[in-house]
Amino acid sequence: MSFSVTVFSHQKYDNNFLIPALKLHCGEAKVKTLPIALSTDTVELAGSSDAVCLFVNDIADKDVLTKLNAAGCKLILLRNAGFNNVDLEVAGELGMSVRRVPAYSPYAVAEMAVALLLAVVRKIPKAYNRVREHNFSISGLEGFDIRGKKIGILGTGNIGKIAAGILKGFGPSRLMGHDAYPSDECKAMGLEYVSLEELCQESDIISIHVPLFPSTYHIIGKETLAMMKPNVVIINTSRGGLVDAEALVDALKKNKIGGLAMDVYEHESSFFFHDCSDQVFGDDVLSRLLSFNNVIITAHQAFLTKEALEQISLTTVQNIIDFSENTSSRNEVKPVPKIDAVSPTK
């Protein structure tokens, strides 16, 4: 079966695994790459492609999906795990299949979360910059031991479970988790499931790993931040919309937060994956966050390992094969049941 694909939000690293794999399967002339994100303004660039291949900041809402379907598109290929940027109900109504890469490398993201934790706790960026300028003073670089601290894992799916396992090795005094679907594997390692309120109140360190649903939007906001201990450390490598960035600024100004490290940002689509160094930066909230010396922000790179990129390419091609052969797959995404994705665990 001849199959054409338009890849939106194409980056140079995609040329290492994804694009060669797609061209090998579909044919050189059947794969089109576009460096721009999919939106209402760019959807017509997909032409009559059988499928579009999307990343985290591409938008496949009702208008976009309707136009894609009218042009003959049958398949939405997500080269990531999250699917909050796709209107699944509309896709289903139009008879379009949505398939993702649910577990490209949960280790990559979990390890990045721990790396960010260590970087912010031990003030590594500040120390690195000092030494680069031949300033070898260590004054003001005091950190703290992770051992003996209370750690909360918000979301214990594939990534959260691995993060919990890594952090368990540091010897926390208490390892807590919160998820609508408790993991027996996490329980076996000694993780204790608690309510969202208790996790916020008791944790010295909180690492966020829940998916972004309407029920989890701004799950970390004014109310939950107010519950937290003074000098709490917050790590987010999941989705920017899980955290109210303006509430973070307020909490940082009041010295409520001891350290913050994020690989995602709620309004990242205008900036992340682009070089904006020669532009006037227009996001006041992100600029304010970057001004705090106890904040580390990276540009959504947690997934970016060779192993993950290879798995993304293999799974994406397999998703095309399964769709072409009308084969059911656990990678196909259906509309999300209307439940609280992180309701308190009893």
99 among known catalytic residues: no
DSSP conformational letter for 48: T
300 among known catalytic residues: yes
**Cβ proximity of 62 and 90 under 8 Å:** yes
- Alpha carbon 203 to its chain centroid, in Å, reads 22
223 among known catalytic residues: no
Q: Which of 209, 268, 310, 330 is catalytic?
A: 268
**Cβ proximity of 117 and 296 under 8 Å:** no
Query: By C-alpha distance, which of 206, 262, 219, 255 is closest to 238?
Result: 262
- Compute the distance between CA of residue 189 and CA of residue 184 in angstroms, rounded to an integer: 9
CB atoms within 10 A of CB 154: 28
Q: Which residues contact 139 (CB under 8 A, 6 or more apart)?
A: none
Q: Which of 300, 307, 310, 330 is catalytic?
A: 300
Q: Which two tokens stand for residue 55?
A: 């990343």
Q: Which of 111, 239, 307, 310 is catalytic?
A: 239
**Cβ proximity of 313 and 17 under 8 Å:** yes
Show which residues are catalytic: 239, 268, 300
